[in-house]
């Protein structure tokens, strides 16, 4: 935790120092206002001393009016300084919070595909929100609590020591004892705050997971099971929350007891000094004012330190993420992918999931420029992994993947992805309009270009009958559209992108036979003059491919054209074709 705290504060400071002028204005204003606040009781001391001085009423009146004017001037100055601090803090925090959010967003999306596979969406969202919110909490505590506390206590103890050394020393000792107890208590409670934060993260992740799978929860009658599981997680949070809150109440009671001792003890000592003629009525007023300031500031310190540690605990998970190196990164001085040639080559590629599950060992595959190749084989054979490695979702354990003779590990990821269009089996869309989702393939495309691509993908027809047509929002992940409609939108996006390398991963699996025949025409046009990789289980969609490759257990078992493979006696492809053609396998 201590390591994370330092890293969190370092990140916050890196963003804070970008606003140096605002920080200076805030510090100057808060420090000035606090000094004025501590100075005002000195004038009230003088006020009451003059009031009881025994002078003539006229002389006392004139002196009191002069002091009152001085106090009014100080109060007005204090009001100006606090307003200056408040307005500057508002602008400062809004700037830093936006900067922190942008940094978290950018770094989060720099993580690899596997990172998002291993973390719940809800958990990641919660980390970002808590991290940003924690800065706001900590900045508030430092600005409005910590700085005024340090200045107030320093000046007050100095004044009291000047008035009476023993009196000042007693207050200093009491403050040191109080702060020490606070720190020990906060450190003890911190580990339970961390456990509570982790439990809340777990519950957030569980909630997000069930929302994503809401249809499964209903269809598999799992609502009560999910409710029970969520209730258990909340019960765990509740127990930790009750425990930490009870700790707070116990300590608050102890703090109050110490403050009663301070007030009674210090006034008893003041009475003794008054008895000896060393204390005036004005000194009592000064002492009462300072005791109140000390009590208020010290009480706030207890809350501040606990809240700060809690905020740091909340920010810790995001700090871990920000300090987790990106798995897939551009090598130093990575070049742009030059696609004067579009041949693809897997050269002795070895790859493992989690370093234990072998997928490829010395795997070789070559696609000529503008060749259309289909990959088939049983589930788990490695077909999809070929695509993931080509897109550099993962780095290979050994070997190389070349595009146009360039190692994709040595080119920028953006330039790699820019030159590849992917139509996945289950397209996921943004909760944005259809126009925005299709245009995502080519951000600067005109509306006419988007509509043209939609017509080629045969999704213009269903879009046209929607109430808002292309301005229709599709829902989270595109849930308002059917699977076939989402696939046609994804195909339109790929058509609009018009990248030189095209990857189709079961791109027509969600379409009915009529729609598939229409889309197949669009795909044939889309494939022209491109290097194409198609993954398919439905063999009727790949008979026109230049080459069909049968993969099993990470190895190429057979390859050739449709006609060549059908001529192979006992060939895997031939058996699969006969089964599908005979209707024994339902797609």
Q: Which two tokens stand for residue 61?
A: 């009146």
Low-confidence ranges of the chain (pLDDT < 50): 583-587
457-492: b (≥16 Cβ within 10 Å) or e: bbbbebbeeeeeebebbbeeebeebeebbbbbbbbb
Choose the CATH number for 344-581 among 3.40.50.300, 3.40.50.720, 3.40.718.10, 3.40.50.970: 3.40.50.300
How many of the other CB atoms lie within 10 Å of CB of 20?
Answer: 9
Q: Is domain 2-322 classified as CATH 1.10.150.130?
A: no
Q: Residue 536's closest CA among 425, 389, 420?
A: 425
Give the pLDDT of residue 119. Answer: 65
Q: Are strands 398-403 and 344-353 parallel, antiparallel or unpaired?
A: antiparallel
Q: How far is the C-alpha of 459 from the C-alpha of 446, rounded, in Å?
A: 17
Three-class DSSP category at 326: coil
Q: Residue 14's closest CA among 319, 355, 259?
A: 319
Q: For 164-222, where are the alpha helices, taking DSSP H only? A: 165-212, 214-219
Three-class DSSP category at 412: coil
Which helix (DSSP H) or strand (DSSP E) does residue 14 occupy? Answer: helix 2-16
Q: How far is the C-alpha of 411 from the C-alpha of 401, rounded, in Å?
A: 11
**Which residues, 6+ apart, have CB-to-CB distance to 481 below 8 Å?**
429, 474, 475, 489
Question: Where does the chain hold its CATH 1.20.1560.10 domain(s)?
Answer: 2-322
Q: CB–CB of 210/217 below 8 Å?
A: yes
Give the pLDDT of residue 587. Answer: 39
How many of the other CB atoms lie within 10 Å of CB of 298?
Answer: 21
pLDDT digits (tens, 9 = 90+) for 278-317: 777 877 888 778 888 887 777 767 677 777 877 887 787 7
Alpha-carbon distances, residue 505 vs 424, 487, 514, 534, 567 (angstroms): 5, 11, 20, 6, 27
Q: CB–CB of 438/453 below 8 Å?
A: yes
Q: Which two tokens stand for residue 68?
A: 């009152």
Phi and psi, residue 557, nearest 5°: -90, -45
Question: Where does the chain hold its CATH 3.40.50.300 domain(s)?
Answer: 344-581
The angle that helices 57-109 and 121-141 make with each other, rounded to 10 degrees, is 160
Give 59-120 as a DSSP string: HHHHHHHHHHHHHHHHHHHHHHHHHHHHHHHHHHHHHHHHHHHHHHHHHHHTS-HHHHHTS-
The residue whose two tokens read 């809401």 is: 214
Q: Residue 473's closest CA among 489, 496, 487, 450?
A: 489
Q: Which two tokens stand for residue 362?
A: 């010395």
């Amino acid at each position: 935790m201590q390591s994370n705290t330092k890293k969190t504060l370092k990140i916050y400071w890196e963003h804070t120092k970008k606003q140096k002028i605002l920080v200076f204005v805030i510090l100057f204003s808060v420090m000035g206002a606090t000094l004025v606040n501590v100075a005002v009781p000195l004038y009230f001391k003088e006020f009451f001393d003059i009031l009881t001085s025994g002078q003539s009423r006229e002389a006392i009146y004139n002196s009191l009016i002069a002091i009152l004017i001085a106090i009014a001037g100080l109060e007005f100055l204090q009001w100006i300084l606090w307003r200056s601090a408040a307005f500057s803090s508002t602008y400062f925090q809004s700037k830093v919070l936006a900067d922190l959010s942008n940094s978290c967003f950018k770094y989060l999306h720099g993580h690899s595909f596997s990172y998002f596979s291993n973390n719940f969406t809800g958990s990641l969202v919660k980390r970002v929100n808590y991290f940003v919110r924690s800065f706001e909490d900590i900045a508030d505590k430092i600005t409005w609590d910590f700085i005024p506390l340090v200045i107030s206590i320093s000046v007050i103890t100095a004044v009291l020591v000047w008035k009476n050394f023993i009196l000042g020393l007693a207050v200093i000792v009491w403050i040191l004892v109080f702060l020490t107890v606070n720190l020990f208590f906060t450190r003890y409670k911190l580990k339970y705050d961390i456990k509570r934060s982790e439990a809340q993260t777990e519950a957030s992740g569980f909630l997000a997971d069930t929302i994503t799978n809401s249809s499964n929860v209903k269809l598999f009658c799992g609502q009560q099971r999910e409710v029970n599981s969520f209730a258990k997680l909340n019960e765990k949070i509740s127990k930790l929350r009750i425990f930490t809150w009870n700790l707070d109440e116990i300590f608050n009671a102890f703090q109050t007891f110490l403050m009663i001792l301070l007030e009674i003890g210090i006034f008893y000592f003041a009475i003794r000094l008054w008895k000896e003629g060393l204390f005036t009525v004005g000194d009592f007023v000064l002492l009462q004012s300072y005791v109140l300031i000390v009590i208020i500031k010290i009480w706030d310190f207890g809350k501040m330190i606990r809240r700060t540690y809690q905020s740091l605990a909340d920010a810790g998970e995001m700090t871990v993420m920000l300090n987790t190196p990106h798995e897939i990164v551009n090598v130093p001085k990575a070049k742009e992918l030059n696609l004067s040639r579009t041949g693809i080559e897997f050269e002795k590629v070895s790859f493992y999931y989690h370093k234990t599950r072998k997928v490829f060992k010395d795997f070789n595959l070559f696609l000529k420029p503008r060749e259309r190749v289909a990959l088939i084989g049983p589930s788990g054979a490695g077909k999809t992994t070929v695509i993931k490695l080509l897109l550099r979702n993962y780095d290979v354990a050994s070997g190389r993947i070349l595009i146009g003779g360039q190692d994709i590990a040595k080119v920028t990821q953006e330039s790699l992805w820019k030159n590849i269009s992917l139509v996945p089996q289950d397209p996921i869309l943004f909760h944005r309009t259809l126009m925005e989702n299709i245009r995502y393939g080519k951000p600067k495309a005109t509306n006419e270009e988007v509509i043209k691509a939609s017509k080629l993908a045969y999704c213009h027809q269903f879009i046209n009958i929607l109430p808002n047509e292309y301005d229709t929002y599709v829902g989270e992940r595109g849930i308002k559209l059917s699977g076939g409609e989402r696939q046609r939108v994804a195909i339109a996006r790929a058509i609009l992108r018009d990248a030189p390398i095209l990857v189709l991963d079961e791109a027509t699996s969600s379409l009915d036979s009529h729609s598939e025949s229409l889309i197949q025409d669009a795909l044939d046009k889309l494939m022209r003059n491109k290097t194409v990789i198609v993954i398919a289980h439905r063999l009727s969609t790949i008979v026109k491919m230049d080459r069909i490759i049968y993969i099993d257990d990470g190895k190429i078992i057979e390859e050739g054209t449709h006609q060549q493979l059908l001529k192979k006696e006992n060939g895997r492809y031939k058996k699969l074709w006969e089964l599908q053609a005979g209707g024994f396998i339902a797609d």
